[in-house]
Amino acid sequence: MSYDEGNIFARILRGEIPCKKIFENEEAFVFHDIRPQAPIHAIIIPKGAYQNAYEFYKEATPQELQGFAEAIVKVIDLLGLKEYGYRMITNHGLHGGQEVPHFHVHLLGGRPLGRMVAASD
Ligand code: 5GP
């Protein structure tokens, strides 16, 4: 399946719909999730058209990989998450429960987050 240029994160990147931006560099864009699952819930996306983590880590250039990693570190600092910690999640496909088909990392924190996956799920 090819990349859907109409997905919501592509539209945010093009400035077609608003978001609460946290940080941006050449390769990555970071904003608050519209339905936060924790006191802090940021979404980190590459600016390139990658559908999921597999595509990104397989196909991204060294510059894209570095810019994305730098954005993650910067946002951990900006949001004050280093001391007490945080959780990073990426969902891929049907079993991952991915809703938006543009690769993204969820960065959650601000309270203890409990078990990673509910035992019965
Ligand atoms: P996924 O399930 O694909 O890993 O996560 C998609 C995330 O995008 C969800 O947490 C959802 O709340 C968030 N989201 C969906 N639409 C929007 C939007 O229009 N703006 C923002 N900021 N977040 C969105």
CA distance 108 to 105: 10
Atom of ligand 1 nearest to the CA of 11: 19
Q: Kindly report the pTM of this predicted structure.
A: 0.96
CA distance 117 to 102: 23
Q: What is the pLDDT of residues 31-62, one digit of tens each?
A: 999 999 999 999 999 999 999 999 999 999 99
From 32, 41, 95, 104, the catalytic residue: 104
Whether ligand 1 lies within 6 angstroms of the CB of 65 is answered as: no
Contact 92, 98 (CB under 8 A): yes
Q: Write down all domains in the chain, each with its CATH number in brackets.
A: 8-109 (3.30.428.10)
Q: What is the pLDDT of residues 67-112, one digit of tens each?
A: 999 999 999 999 999 999 999 999 999 999 999 999 999 999 999 9
